[in-house]
Amino acid sequence: MVPLFFVQNFIDYLASEKRFSDHTLLAYKKDVEQFIEFSGIQSEKHVVEINSKLIRGWIVSLMDDGLEASSVNRKLSTLRTLFKWLMREGVIDKNPMQTVKGPKNSKRLPSFAQQVEVKSSNISPLFQDDFDGLRDLLMFEMFYQTGIRSSELIELKDNRVSSNQIRVIGKRNKERIIPIATELSQLIEEYREKRAEIDPNPEYFFLLNSAKKLYPKFVYRKINNYLGEATGLEKKSPHVLRHTFATHMLNNGASLEVLKEILGHANLAATQIYTHNSFSQLTNIYSQSHPRGQKK
Rounded CA-CA distance 217/233 in Å is 19
Could you tell me how many residues make up the chain? 296
Name the phi and psi angles at 163, rounded to 5. -75, -20
Rounded CA-CA distance 227/233 in Å is 8
Active-site option among 18, 80, 222, 239:
239
Active-site option among 195, 236, 248, 265:
265
Active-site option among 23, 171, 176, 213:
171
Contacts of 207 (CB under 8 A, 6+ apart): 135, 195, 198, 199, 213, 214
Active site residue 265: yes
Rounded CA-CA distance 25/29 in Å is 6
Active-site option among 144, 191, 226, 274:
274
Active-site option among 135, 149, 248, 260:
149
Active site residue 290: no
Rounded CA-CA distance 131/7 in Å is 43
Rounded CA-CA distance 36/10 in Å is 14
Active site residue 242: yes
Active site residue 149: yes
Q: Where are the beta strands (DSSP E) in 160-259?
A: 165-169, 175-179
Name the phi and psi angles at 210, rounded to 5. -90, 5
Active-site option among 135, 242, 248, 260:
242
Active site residue 160: no
Active site residue 13: no
Active site residue ranges? 149, 171, 239, 242, 265, 274
